[in-house]
Amino acid sequence: ERKGVRIEGFPLGNSPRDFMREFEPAQTIVMTTTNGTKAIKAAAGADTVLIGAFLNAEAVCGQLAGGPGDILIVCAGTNGKFSLEDALCAGLFADILGKNER
């Protein structure tokens, strides 16, 4: 997507709901977004990078629970600014992880 709008000619946007359909096991999916791509690039030095949203919060936190090392939650923001949705989602992740008591 660019500025929140799906790019013409591409079957998927940046909504996690777009990725709920099943894909072939060997199928490669390339995703680029206005804000998320920058956040992923900022985390490139990490051993593991997981992409989380409200829709997959339990699954991502389940993957993180019990793992080694620290967890850093990065909010992508919107156009370089604070995003309430990102902050709320980060809070949800912190809450779930806190209950799992890594």
Residue 27 has pLDDT above 90, yes or no: no
Q: Model confidence over 32-72: pLDDT tens digits?
A: 888 998 999 999 999 999 999 998 999 999 999 888 889 99
Residue 4 has pLDDT above 80, yes or no: no
Domain segments of the chain as ranges:
34-100
Tokens of 100: 């799992």
- Residue 72 · residue 43 · CB < 8 Å: yes
> Nearest Cα to 42, choosing from 73, 65, 63, 13?
73
Mean pLDDT, the chain, rounded, equals 87
pLDDT at 101: 67
Write down the residue that tokens 């939650």 correspond to.
73
Question: pTM score > 0.85 for this model?
Answer: no
